[in-house]
Structure 1
Amino acid sequence: MSKKIAGPEIERLIQLLARLPGLGPRSARKAALALLKRREDLLVPLSEALATAVRTIVMCPVCGSLDTVSPCTICRDERRDREVIVVVEEMADLWALERAAVVNGTYHVLGGHLSPLDGIGPERLNIAGLLDRAASGPVKEIILALNATVEGQSTAHYLTEQLAPTGVIVSRLAQGVPIGGELDYLDEGTLAAAIKARKRI
């Protein structure tokens, strides 16, 4: 059993920080100390930004992305091609594609990927919303821009099967995306080439 090294408030801060991706207990302790040492110029503004985020950021009921308006800014944009939906696992993937400026369609954020070992089945992802959009809207093509991981490929296979009855063209990113790679870490040139060289499944 580990010994408590600080008061309950500091321990709580460390425990919460340790839940963030990429932060283990040691990194969380360092981050907590940095925040506490820089209370006025870092901790206070961060706490205010988090409070504002809790109050104002909502999930888009159409595509599942995050924004301060509902439907989100992208879904409201009349210049977007409504006939194309780009499916991504997470918001970071959407942001990566937007930075590359290679998508003029709309998006659909699944909120993760299928992972039976972790208990993540279709019901835990935003798949029903995608099927509804494919069946009821002016959609002609769905681009599966999923991570090139085993889970991402399994999710793509499942979605392809589920979308087959809709008659919508389903394509995926070209293999310029490395196996095991995640979209958020790819450069804009690689993303642009992958979008342009996509293939029908």
Structure 2
Amino acid sequence: MKKLILIICAIITSCATQSSAISEARKFQKELNAEYKKLKTTPLRGDNFTSFKEHPFFPINSQYRVTAKLVRTENAIPFENPTSSGKTQPYKEYGKATFQLHGKSYSLTIYQSLNLIKKEGFHDHLFLPFRDETNGKETYGGGKYMDLRIPKSDEIVLDFNLSYQPFCAYNAYDYNCPIVPEVNFLPVRIEAGVMYDDVYHH
């Protein structure tokens, strides 16, 4: 009887967690669409702005919300990461996140923007740029980004449903976006987050 109760509790907890993750992803989509509809926050210009209605998204999929083991990088040396405009921006490696997806193990390097963490409210911000096998097809060829916060433990949740494309995907003239490092190429399709729509891209 006790074992049955534990199983039922585990199922309830799992369902509650999944429901919360879906709600978070829907909120992300709603807020991203709202950002692109406001003149002050959108990267869109001209007809692309006036005709914008909403982003195309992959269906929300809990398989792409993974808990990764985080190994923090000790004594990380700041470096200049190249950007889409040919310039550079200062970053520091924060750690490596290892996770399982579709039965295989993958690793991504997580960074900190040395400019962004100086701003109020971003002291614990982490930056995860990545590429996968959907790039140049269903998603932007240059890759996608994910925003994270420093976790209290040695685990970090990577929810690819919350991944988005850089502003440069929509406006290459006005924005200067970090190029995804080669170490963060995933040899797998990540069918989650924002999709590519050539109506709004250049």
Q: Scaled by the length of structure 2, what TM-score is found? A: 0.26
State which structure, 1 or 2, has the greater radius of gyration over its C-alpha atoms.
Answer: 1
Counting helix residues as a fraction of each chain, which structure ranks higher? Answer: 1
Counting strand residues as a fraction of each chain, which structure ranks higher? Answer: 2
Of structures 1 and 2, the one with the larger relative CO (CA 8 A, separation 6+) is: 2
Q: Scaled by the length of structure 1, what TM-score is found? A: 0.26
